[in-house]
Amino acid sequence: MIGGHWWDGFRGNEYPDEDEGASMAKAILKRHLKIDAEPDQVLVGLQRDCIPQYNVGHDKILKDTDADLLGNFRGTLSLAGSSYKGVGLNDCVRQARDAVMALKEDGF
């Protein structure tokens, strides 16, 4: 995966095409891992805006939200997902597990 917030200012026609994406990936492999052998096969899929980027202040928003939830729902409502504490699937699964375990510990 390459791009992320480095490509935030790109417009539709400024994104690399698949050939450029493959060239970029191969250049990164050469620079960082010293791999310069040409691969047998290259598959490229370009996705825009596929991984959320948290804004500055996200941690404070989460703390405030957690405090509101605790005050209003006394621990009976939990939030999980990519908008909260990690954008990957493994983060979301961990959050769901943690929420269930917390409810179990509280006797629900």
- Average pLDDT of the chain to the nearest whole number: 87
Site of tokens 């989460």: 62
Residue 39 CB burial class (10 angstroms; 0-12, 13-18, ≥19): exposed
d(CA 40, CA 43): 10
* pLDDT (0 to 100) of residue 31: 95
- Percentage of the chain beyond pLDDT 70 is 99
Using alpha carbons, select from 44, 45, 43, 48 the residue that is nearest to residue 12: 48
DSSP tag of 4: G
Does residue 33 register a pLDDT over 80? yes
What pTM was estimated for this model as a whole?
0.53
Alpha helix locations (H) across 1-108? 18-33, 58-73, 89-105
Instruction: Supply 30's token pair.
Output: 């050469």
d(CA 100, CA 56): 29
Does residue 67 register a pLDDT over 90? yes
